[in-house]
Copies of this chain bind each other. A is one copy, B any other.
Amino acid sequence: MNENILGIVAGVLTSISMIPQLIKVIREKNVEDISLVMLLILISGLSLWVWYGFKKEELPIILSNAFAVLVNISLLICYMLYRKS
Q: Using A30-B33, A34-B21 as known contacts, say yes or no to A49 and B3 having CB atoms under 8 A apart.
A: no
CA A32 – CA B39 in complex, angstroms? 17
Count of A interface residues, CB-CB < 8 Å: 41
Which of the residues B14, B18, B20, B44 comes within 8 Å of A46, measured between beta carbons?
B14
Judge whether A48 is part of the interface by a CB distance below 8 angstroms.
yes
- Interface residues in chain A, defined as those with a beta carbon under 8 Å from any beta carbon in chain B: 3, 6-7, 9-21, 23-25, 28, 30-35, 37-39, 41-42, 44-46, 48-49, 51-52, 55-56, 60
Q: A11-B45, A18-B42, A19-B38 are in contact. List 15 more A-B contacts (CB 8 A).
A: A6-B55, A10-B46, A13-B44, A13-B45, A13-B48, A16-B41, A17-B39, A17-B42, A17-B45, A18-B38, A20-B35, A23-B35, A24-B35, A30-B32, A34-B34
